[in-house]
Structures are given as C-alpha cells and as structure tokens.
Amino acid sequence: MTLLETIKSPADLRKLPVERLPEVAADIRKAICDQVSVSGGHLAPNLGVVELTIAMHYVFDFAWDRLLFDVGHQCYPHKLLTGRLPLLKNLRTSAGMAGFPEPAESPYDLFRVGHAGTGISTAVGMARGDSLNGEGYDPQTNAKGRRVATIIGDASIVNGVAMEGLNGAGTLKRQFLVILNDNGMSISKPQGAIAQHFDRVRLSHTYADFKKRGKEMLKHLPGGSLIAEAYHQAGEVTKAALHEHAWFEHFGLLTAGPIDGHDFPTLMEFLTEARDLDRPMVLHVKTVKGKGFDFAEGDSSKFHSPAPFVREGCRVEIKKDGRSFTAAIGDILVDAMKRDPKILTATAAMPDGTGINKTLAAFPDRSFDTGICESHALDMMAGLAKTGWKTFFAVYSTFVQRAFDQAFQESSLQGLPVRLLLDRAGLVGGDGAVHHGFCDIALLRTLPAAAIVAPIDEPSLVEAVEFMRCYEEGLSAARYPRDNVSDLVVNRLGKTPRYELGKARCLTPELDVGKGKPDVAVLAFGTPAIDALKAADALKGEYSVSVYDARFAKPVDAALVRDLLSRNIPIVTVEDHSIIGGFGAAVLESAQEQHLDTSRIVRLGLPDSWIIQDSRARQLEIAGIDEAGITRGIRQAAALPSVEFRTRSSVAAPVLA
C-alpha cells in the first residue's frame, strides 16, 4: 500500500511528519500520470502544484477554512488528498472524478469552476460572507474563524475578472490569501506585459536568494515573524525583500515572494505566516509545470491536457484516432492566409486547442495570442477590422461568452465583420458542464446582420471559412465540435458546394424539394447531420426521410421551412446546442413569422439541465441527439397528425385532418 492510499482526508495528511511529505508527492504524481495516460486529462498543470497543494492542506484546515481554485484544472492533487483516490480510476466520467472542482463530489470543493479569473472574486465574496456571519478569522476577536485562500495562475491573473477581484480584495480588512502559482506557462506561453514582468522577476537575483535572505531576516526581526513583522517594520531592506515586485501593492495587497513552490520547508514557513495574518496578501510561488516527468516538463503545452498516451522508456506517444476539426481549421486558415494577405488570426491562450499554433508559425506578424483575455481579443479584432483587416478569432465556444459584450458593442453595433471560429461547440466530453458550448447560437443570433454557420465536415469547414472571408455585412461565426471530421458525406455526395447566405443543403438529393414527398424532413445544424443520415439509412423501408445540412442558424432557410410545412411534411430539427434559443427555436420563429402552423415541428437539442463529464458519445446519447435519439425523433414526427395547410392569415386556427 502506498502512503497516499492511507490518506483518507487532510486530517490524515497532517498526522505525517514533514519529512514524509515528499513521499506523498511522489505517490500523487505517479497516480495522476498513470491515470491520465489511460483516460486523458489535465496532466502538466496538476503535476506542477503537488507540493503546493500538500502544503496548503497541511497548514490550513479546509474542512473549515475556504479554498477556492481559479480555472480548476490543477485540482487533481487536492481531490486525491480529500478522499477521492478511489474515483481516480474513472477520471472524467460520470462514474468517477470530474476533471474540475465538483461540489457534488466533496464539501472540499466549493464551486464548479472551469473559466479563468473567477477565483479571487468568489473568494472575496466568501470572505465577506463569513465575516458578516461572524465566522471570519480575526487574530484578536475570532482566532478560530474561517480563513480564506485562493490559488490562481500567472496566466489567469491577467484576466479582466481577476483584476476586478484584486481590486476588491485590497479593500478587505481581514485575513485573505491569494496564491499566485507562477509556472511561466498558461496552456501555452503566457502573453502580455504582466507576463513579461513576471519573467523579469523570475530571472532576477532575488528569486535565487530569497529563501536565504528570508532566513537572515528572521534573525533580526523582533519576535521572528517573517511576514507580520515585516509588514509592521517599514525598513527599506525588509520592503525590498518582501516586495520584490510591488505591483500588487497598488491593489492594497501585501506581497511576498517569489518562493520555491516545490520546497516544503519554505512553503510551510510562508503559508503558516500568511494563515495568521490580519490583512490580505499575495504569496508569489514559483513552480514548474509538469514537474516530476521530463516529457511533461519539456513540453508542458503538449501535455497540458493530453489524450491518452503510451510511455516507452524516454519516448512518449499520444494516441491519435483521427483528424480533428481543430487540426483541420489550422490548415484551412494557413491556406486562406496564403491566398488573402488581409486575413489576421488570433486566439486567447489556446493556440494548440484552436489550431492557431499553425498560423502563428506560418504568419507570426498576422497572428496573435492575447493570453487569457477573450474580451480584449475580440475588441482588438474589432479595431483591426476597422482598419481594413479580415479578422478571425478562434476561441472555445464556452469562452466566447466572456466576450459577448464586445461582440455586441465593438463588432456588431459598429457593423464590423469580425469572424468567430467557435471550437468545442456543443458537448465536450470529459471536461463536462464547465466547458460545454451550449449557448453561443442563442447569444449571437440576437445580433443584427450576424451570420451563424455550422460545418459538418472538413470540406464544409473550408467553404465556411471562405464564406466568412467574404461576408462583410456584420459579425459571422462558425461552430464545430471537439471531435474528428467525418468523410461520410463527401464519400457519398462528392464535392461540397459553396455556402449561400441562408440556404440549406440537401444530403439526400433524391428527396430534395420538388423530388417527391418524404415522410419526415430532418433539418440538422452542424455535425448532428452525420447521425441524421445514419438514422435515415436505418429507417429505410419504414419511412422515407430527407436530411438537410441546415448550414445557417441565422438566417435560417425560410423558403425550405415554408416548402416543407406547406406540403404537410413534419420537420425534425437537431442541434448540439441548448434547445432554448438555438437553431430549432429559430426554425419555429421562421415558421411563425410566415404564419405557418408549427405543430409538426419536433426539436431535438441539449436539455434544460446540466450534463456532467463523460465521453462525448455518452453525452450525445443522454441528450438524445445521437443516431438512436434522432431515430426516435423521426418516429415521433412521423406519428404526428397531419394538418391542412393554411396560413394564419386565412384561418383563425390550424385545422386538423
């Protein structure tokens, strides 16, 4: 039995002598690496915070105190120390451990969190709430009160929400600890002036000498208190050591560090002092992303959140099972940029995850990584569009929510044709509810003149980019899933036609408009069209089903909707998006605007409930938008009573036949 297996809660951890903590750290690293190699998951960020997490649980009692994570992709060590080792074998599935903090798993997880920048603000809220409840820690009046700590990365600290959180934290009149986990990395290399500032701090002489100088200070400060006394002693030597970079001082936060985030004695020393301080502070901790495994340290971007992989000695190979939409879009953009010198691309800290790593390499002067700053990125794209550039912003669907205000104010309202490439649209698999891209259609189709498309495969993605390149009337967006591209349609139908604004494409040409009357028509938005075709094939002999690649959620193909309903053909809409406000809702609205009866429209989409982590295939099944679910929807539509076609301008109500 490993030492980790004996730890059922942090109380067990605190029974161990400090000398045995490196053994716990080694067990945690091995357990995480062994599991992620099988299931995939966030590897490098978790390996980098092992000692820091152990030290936090050793010094604080988070069964009572508050620990809040920013982003949350560094929470595996925390979970293993809080009784969830048995759940690790089913990591990122509904039967096991979520890849992000999950309150349903444990009271040690306070928030479901997967977006950067939020940890400080939620921690400020809990600190204020505890104080108002009379439970907040105060060394004079409530020594047994709750402490509050939050861990944020050096890349997340530049996020606008984090800045607002720091501004609020500086007004607190109580203990409050922000751990700045500085590993010199985001998902990839951090960007921006603040990241450059941290680089200078890491390279300065003080980082190398800080621990030694700190111990020397202990000998000279009255009472031997490193932090509390340093705050009260205003000597320049003390301030220089504690405020190596006084940047956070401007927020009213005492700052210490950087310190070695892998050295237990140093961590214990500083965390103990910070735990009992009576004011807010930032502890700058220097860590190594991917610590403990050479392959993860050497390429922490590649091993940030890898697919399953195989280790053979010094060689590590990540398993591949096909060509992804992300890989495809990178190549498509490079080709488009070769043909059109006015195209620019950008991403917000996700160059590998969006394919922009390829344009950054091929066109470094026309490609940008803004860091975790989605709002800034979209505003920057609007500014570039104003000066005549064709801007493509590649961003996860779940993160475009953070830039919706900019999509509204600086792009759409100005009539600027900013182009959004929404990766990870719909259900995302193991990352779970915190990352599902379930509301981008509902948000973006409110914007006048917006064009929203959903390619179904690589050839249609090529045509979508070409359509967006030429679309100048307003904002445009293409959404596609975290999945591999299918060759079903191109093998069946050959060349993919160009996109025409607001026009769908029939994938069953023998049952297209004017070529017979199918029993049911499926209007599929995006990759659900592939499963709709499979469902139609499976139902041959029972029902004739026409399948359309809807292509546009705005504007929808109103003429197609009218033609189908006027011929009394029931419609099934299907989308990998919330059924509320999505493509199906747009079809209903189109029918209503044309005074058509809507009783023969069946909508399939994501339910009005959260779908937790699991395989993407299992999530599609739960939502009822896989092949089996679409088959059920077709049968449901076929069983609906027929309606005599009359427009609502000619009758008061639909007439049932």
CA 455 to chain centre: 21
Q: At a CB cut-off of 8 Å and minimum separation 6, what does 63 contact?
A: 9, 10, 11, 107, 108
Options 51, 102, 269, 374, the catalytic residue: 374
Catalytic residue among 402, 469, 551, 600: 402
Q: Is 289 part of the annotated catalytic residue set?
A: yes
Tally of CB atoms within 10 A around 588? 18
- Residue 342 appears among annotated catalytic residues: no
From 289, 390, 419, 554, the catalytic residue:
289
Q: Which of 410, 371, 372, 413 is nearest to 391 (CA)?
A: 410
Concerning whether 458 is annotated as a catalytic residue, the answer is no
Write out 268-332 in H/E/C secondary structure: HHHHHHHHCCCCEEEEEEECCCCCCCHHHHHCCCCCCCCCCEEEECCEEEECCCCCEHHHHHHHH
Q: Omega into 555 within 30° of 0, i.e. cis?
A: yes
The H-assigned helical ranges of 355-506 are 356-362, 374-386, 397-400, 404-406, 440-444, 458-470, 488-493
**Measured between alpha carbons, how far is 374 from 368 in angstroms, rounded to an integer?**
12
CA-to-CA distance for 443 and 445, rounded, in angstroms? 6
What are the phi and psi torsion angles at 545 (to 5°)? -130, 120
Distance CA 613, CA 434 (A): 9
Nearest to 643, CA basis, from 629, 655, 635 = 655
* Helices and strands counted in the chain (H then E): 27, 21
| Parallel/antiparallel/unpaired status of strands 643-644 and 655-656 | antiparallel
451-453 vs 505-506, strand pairing mode: unpaired
Cis status of the peptide bond prior to 45, with omega within 30 of 0: no
Q: So which residues are the catalytic ones?
A: 289, 374, 402
